[in-house]
Amino acid sequence: MTRAVLSIGSNLGDRLANLRIPVRSLAAWLVAASPVYETKPWGVTDQPDFLNAVLIVDDPDADEWTWLDRAQSAEQQAGRVRTRRWGPRTLDVDVVTVDNVTSTHPDLLLPHPGTPTRATVLIPWLALDPAADLPTHGPVAELLAALPPTDIADVKPRTDLSLHP
Ligand SMILES: Nc1ncnc2c1ncn2[C@@H]1O[C@H](COP(=O)(O)OP(=O)(O)OP(=O)(O)O)[C@@H](O)[C@H]1O
Ligand SMILES: Nc1nc2c(c(=O)[nH]1)N=C(CO)CN2
């Protein structure tokens, strides 16, 4: 089996509709979809707020490259145009982990190196799985507790929104 954790985000266009694109295209392998969060942009801060969420998917026939391929197909379906690093996007799908695989290949770094410091990933992931563990880093709850409180305050649940139509 390969169980993957995917982080999804959108800050352009119909953000919720964009997040639902991978939910639909990955439906056959979807184990769980997190709540949706409204988040302040990190990295490049002069851009619109994001909606972020996390998906857990499982496919016995997939490896890590299959998941990257599926993630990138969903981005393309959302009409994503690559602009600047960390800039606004209709849909970003990052492969956070695939089982306990580690990879230093630049096209597929695993676990995704941004994860330990991104409340926008850790909070939705923890909501789905309180015992979540980031391979080579440790419990997600501990990583989150180590972040500045302002990072956590910048990630707000949108209980009025759902990834399922
Ligand atoms: N774990 C991963 N998940 C998704 N893409 C990855 C991963 N590791 C490396 N990449 C590579 O990153 C590139 C895409 O980068 P992208 O423009 O989405 O970065 P970003 O989302 O702006 O920044 P970040 O990766 O820090 O979130 C792709 O070429 C992809 O092959
Ligand atoms: N809040 C938030 N900020 C970001 C995000 C994101 O998903 N959420 N993604 C980025 C590029 O990957 C850059 N900044």
Tens digit of each residue's pLDDT (9 = 90 or more) over 49-100 = 999 999 999 999 999 999 999 999 999 999 877 777 888 899 999 999 999 9
Cα separation of 29 and 12, whole Å? 26
Q: Summarize the confidence of residues 135-160 as an average pLDDT.
A: 98
Q: Please state the ipTM of this predicted complex.
A: 0.96
Give yes or no for residue 108 CB within 6 A of ligand 1. yes
Give yes or no for residue 9 CB within 6 A of ligand 2. yes
Instruction: Enter the pTM of the model.
Output: 0.97
Q: Summarize the confidence of residues 32-44 as an average pLDDT.
A: 97
Q: Is 93 exposed, middle or buried (0-12, 13-18, 19+ CB in 10 A)?
A: buried
Q: Is 115 exposed, middle or buried (0-12, 13-18, 19+ CB in 10 A)?
A: buried
Q: Give the residue whose CA is nearest to atom 6 of ligand 2.
A: 9
The CATH code that applies to domain 3-157 is 3.30.70.560
Sequence-ordered strand ranges (E) for the chain: 3-10, 30-33, 37-39, 50-58, 92-98, 103-105, 108-110, 133-134, 138-139, 155-157
Q: Give domain limits for the chain.
A: 3-157
- Residue 26 CA to ligand 2 center (angstroms) comes to 21
